[in-house]
Structure 1
Amino acid sequence: MDVGSGRLRFEPLRGGRLWAPADPRYRAPGDMQRHIQDAGPAALEGLIRRQANAGRPVSFIVANAFAPWAAGVARDMGVPRAMLWTQSCAVLSLYYHHLYSLVAFPPAGAETGLPVPVPGLPALTVGELPALVYAPEPNVWRQALVADLVSLHDTLPWVLVNTFDELERVAIEALRAHLPVVPVGPLFDTGSGAGEDDDCVAWLDAQPPRSVVFVAFGSVVVIGRDETAEVAEGLASTGHPFLWVVRDDSRELHPHGESGGGGDKGKVVAWCEQRRVLAHPAVGCFVTHCGWNSTTEALAAGVPVVAYPAWSDQITNAKLLADVYGVGVRLPVPTTRDALRRCVDEVMSGPEAEAMRLRAREWSDKASAAVANGGSSDMGIRDFADALLSLSVEHGC
C-alpha cells in the first residue's frame, strides 16, 4: 500500500505458541488477553528477526493498545515505537485523566448520575464512563490498560488514534496538551465494502429502501436466553424486515431459528460482512453493541442506530452516538420487547427520524473526506509514513 513517500506492508503475527486465528478460545476476552500476553512476545520477536534476516530490518513498531508486551519487545530490542489506540479519543482521554488524577473522579460505587467533567469532552456521568475506569485491580484488561498508559510517558513520538478530526476535534485538541495524538481513522475502506456475494446481500436486494433493521452485537458480547427472546419478540413486533447476526456459539439461545421470529420478514445469519450490509440502501437502522469499530462503521455508512451497549467503551460510545453525534437513541439495558419496538420506531419513523438520517449522512460525508486524498486523517498517515521513512534513512535501514 502506497502511503506518503513510502509503502506499508502487513505481516501476520504467527507461530510459536499462538493459537490459530480461528481458534474459538479467542472469543473469551480474558482468556484471549492472557494468552496473547503469554505467547505474543516470542511471536513478535520472531517476526522482527525474520524481517532482519530477509534484509528488511524493522526500524519502528506501532503497538496496539492493550498490548503492553509489544512495547516491552520494542524496548528490549532497541526499536522505537508508537501506540495505536483503537477506541475513541474521548475514551483515551477519560482513562488518561483518571489514571493520572488530572480531574476529580467520583469514587467507585458512586451514584451513576454524578457528573464527571473532563476537558474537551461532552458532559458525562459516572454511568456513562467506560467500564475499565472502575474495574477492580485484578482485571486483566485494566492491568494492560494501566501498563499502556504508563508507557505513554516514555516520550512516544505518536499516539495514533482510530478517529478523525471532524468527529472529535475538541477532544483531540484538549488531549494534545498531554499526548502527541494523531487521528488516522476511520481505519477501514469507506467505499461500498463490496466483496464476495452472499445470501445476506441477495436478501437485502429484495427489501425496500431504508426498511431493514440490522442487528449485530459483535464478536465477543453474548446476551442471555431471556434477553435474546425479548430482542426477537421486539424485532418481530416492529413490522420491519430485519437481519440479525447470531454467532454459532449463541444459536442455542435463540428461540426462533432462521427467521428470528419474524416469519418471512426475519433473517438470522451466523456471519455477514458488516460494512457491506451497512452500506446497502435497504438498511434503515442498526441495532448495535456500540463497539468503536461498529460505531465508526455506522457513521461512515450514514446509518442511524439503536445503541445497546454491554461493556468496555461501548457505554460511552452509546452516549456519543445518541447525544453528541445525534444519530440514534439508547436502548435500556437489559431491554424489553416493548422498549426495542419503541426505539426502532423512533429511529425509523419517529418525529426526529429524518433529522437523524440527515446527521448520519453528514457524518458519512465527513468520514469519507477525512480519509480521502488530502483529508485530515490521510495527511496524518502520510506525515507519519514520511517521518518513518526519514527515521529509517537515519538508521541506515
Structure 2
Amino acid sequence: MDVGSGRLRFEPLRGGRLWAPADPRYRAPGDMQRHIQDAGPAALEGLIRRQANAGRPVSFIVANAFAPWAAGVARDMGVPRAMLWTQSCAVLSLYYHHLYSLVAFPPAGAETGLPVPVPGPPGADASRTHCPGVLVNTLEELERVAIEALRAHLPVVPVGPLFDTGSGAGEDDDCVAWLDAQPPRSVVFVAFGSVVVIGRDETAEVAEGLASTGHPFLWVVRDDSRELHPHGESGGGGDKGKVVAWCEQRRVLAHPAVGCFVTHCGWNSTTEALAAGVPVVAYPAWSDQITNAKLLADVYGVGVRLPVRRRGHERAGGGGDAAEGAGVERQGERGGG
C-alpha cells in the first residue's frame, strides 16, 4: 500500500509545544510519555483541523492505549473513536479488571488474601469513560475464552494478528542464506526484541548454554547490546553460531531450518512464533511478557519456560538451564511442547 496513494497517508503530529522529532529527550520513555500526554492533545486537534481544511476530514480516530488523551480530543471534536490494543486480550482483561476493581489479585502462595497492585498502561486512569470499541491484536481462535469474557464489559473486536504477511523477499539480509545451509529444524533462533536488555552475566550464560547444545544457532544481538556479548560475532559457538544485529524475524521463523525460538515473549514475537509453528523457550522480562510466557507454555502447550534464578536485581538463567531449554526443538513435533 503506497504512502499518499489516497488509501494510506502518514501525517506527523507537529507544532504547538511538541519537541522537534530529533529531540534526544524522546529517548527517555518516561519523559517522552509525560511530554506527549501534555502536548499531544493540542497537536492532534491541529492535525484534525488541517485535514479538514485540506478537504480530507477525519471521520474516525484509532489510538492505542498509550495515547489515552486522544479520547478527549475525539469527544470534544465530535469524531467517533476506538482504542487499538496491541497486546493480548488476556492482558487487556487483567488491566480492565484491575482498573475497575472487578477482582482482587492475591499474591502467589499468600494466605492473607491481600490484593496486589497491578499497574495499567500510562494514563489509563484518564480513559475510565466508556470506550465505544476496542480493536485487539488477536484472533478468535487464539483467545476465544478471554475475548468472550471481556465482551461482557467491552465491545472487543479482534483485528489480528497485526504483522506483515508478505514474502519479505529482497531484504538485504544474509541470514536466510546461512539458514539454507543448515539441516532442517536444527537451528536455535534467539531474539529478545528491540527493548529488552538481559545483562552481561545473562548474555554470557546464554552464550555458554547455546554453545553447549551443539546445535547451530542464530542470535540477534542489537548494536546497543553488542558490548555485552562475551564472544563477539562468533557467540562462543565457533562455526555453529551466527550473531547478527538485526534480521527479519518473521522470515527467519518461517525457515524450515529453524527448530526452536528463544524469545522474550513480546506479543508480536508470540504470534509470529505461533503462526510459523515453531516451539519456543520462553524467557520473559516484564509487562505482558510474563503472561505471554504462561500462555505459550501452559495454555497453548508450544514451549517451555526457561528456569531463572535471582541475582540481586538481575535475572540470570544458568548455562545448563539454557542448554536444556534450547534442546526443545528435538522434543515432539514442530509447534508442540
TM-score (norm 2): 0.79
Counterpart contact for 2:202–2:316, Cα < 8 Å: no
The 2-side partners of 1:374 and 1:331 are apart by 9
- Return closer, same or farther for 1:207/1:379 CA change in 2, 3 Å cut-off: closer
RMSD, matched Cα: 10.5
Q: Give the CA deviation at 1:100.
A: 1.6
The 1-side partners of 2:333 and 2:213 are apart by 43
Q: Give the CA deviation at 1:296.
A: 0.8
Counterpart contact for 2:307–2:317, Cα < 8 Å: no
The 2-side partners of 1:252 and 1:361 are apart by 20
Counterpart contact for 1:184–1:377, Cα < 8 Å: no
What does 1:307-326 correspond to in 2, within 5 Å?
Answer: 307-326=282-301
The 1-side partners of 2:143 and 2:265 are apart by 17
- Return closer, same or farther for 1:232/1:376 CA change in 2, 3 Å cut-off: closer
* Identity, % of aligned positions: 92
- Return closer, same or farther for 1:32/1:213 CA change in 2, 3 Å cut-off: farther
The 2-side partners of 1:110 and 1:362 are apart by 24
Counterpart contact for 1:164–1:186, Cα < 8 Å: yes
The 2-side partners of 1:294 and 1:38 are apart by 32
Q: Give the CA deviation at 1:322.
A: 0.6
Counterpart contact for 1:190–1:300, Cα < 8 Å: no
Counterpart contact for 1:301–1:364, Cα < 8 Å: no
Q: Give the CA deviation at 1:359.
A: 35
Provide Cα deviations, 1:188-236, integer angstroms capped at 9, x if missing partner: 2334443413122222122121111111111111111111100110111
Structure 2 residue runs without a partner (length 5+): none
Provide Cα deviations, 1:149-186, integer angstroms capped at 9, x if missing partner: 84352xxx311100000001111111110000000100
- Return closer, same or farther for 1:268/1:46 CA change in 2, 3 Å cut-off: farther
Q: Give the CA deviation at 1:2.
A: 12
Q: Give the CA deviation at 1:306.
A: 0.5
Counterpart in 2 of 1:170?
145
Secondary structure, counterpart of 1:285 in structure 2: strand
Structure 1 residue runs without a partner (length 5+): 121-146, 334-356, 383-395
Stretch moving more, 183-192 or 249-258 = 183-192
Counterpart contact for 1:15–1:43, Cα < 8 Å: yes
Counterpart in 2 of 1:375?
327
Counterpart contact for 1:164–1:377, Cα < 8 Å: no
Counterpart contact for 2:186–2:257, Cα < 8 Å: yes
The 1-side partners of 2:24 and 2:171 are apart by 24
Q: Give the CA deviation at 1:316.
A: 0.4
The 2-side partners of 1:329 and 1:376 are apart by 8
Pick 1 or 2: higher relative contact order, CA cutoff 8 A, min separation 6: 1
Size of the aligned set, in residue pairs, is 332
Stretch moving more, 12-21 or 204-213 = 12-21
- Return closer, same or farther for 1:374/1:281 CA change in 2, 3 Å cut-off: closer
The 1-side partners of 2:322 and 2:220 are apart by 30
Counterpart contact for 1:61–1:79, Cα < 8 Å: yes
Counterpart contact for 1:193–1:279, Cα < 8 Å: no
The 2-side partners of 1:71 and 1:377 are apart by 45
**2:126 aligns with one of 136, 145, 149:** 149
Secondary structure, counterpart of 1:372 in structure 2: helix
The 2-side partners of 1:250 and 1:38 are apart by 32
- Return closer, same or farther for 1:112/1:325 CA change in 2, 3 Å cut-off: farther
- Return closer, same or farther for 1:9/1:299 CA change in 2, 3 Å cut-off: farther
- Return closer, same or farther for 1:44/1:168 CA change in 2, 3 Å cut-off: same
Stretch moving more, 193-202 or 99-108 = 99-108
The 2-side partners of 1:229 and 1:28 are apart by 27
- Return closer, same or farther for 1:274/1:250 CA change in 2, 3 Å cut-off: same
Counterpart in 2 of 1:60?
60
Secondary structure, counterpart of 2:242 in structure 1: strand
- Return closer, same or farther for 1:364/1:58 CA change in 2, 3 Å cut-off: farther
Provide Cα deviations, 1:285-334, integer angstroms capped at 9, x if missing partner: 1110001111111111111110000000000000000111111000123x
Provide Cα deviations, 1:314-358, integer angstroms capped at 9, x if missing partner: 00000000111111000123xxxxxxxxxxxxxxxxxxxxxxx99
Counterpart contact for 1:2–1:8, Cα < 8 Å: yes
TM-score (norm 1): 0.68
Q: Give the CA deviation at 1:69.
A: 2.2
**1:360 aligns with one of 286, 302, 312:** 312
Stretch moving more, 281-290 or 27-36 = 27-36
Q: Give the CA deviation at 1:243.
A: 1.1
Q: Give the CA deviation at 1:15.
A: 6.2
- Return closer, same or farther for 1:148/1:38 CA change in 2, 3 Å cut-off: same
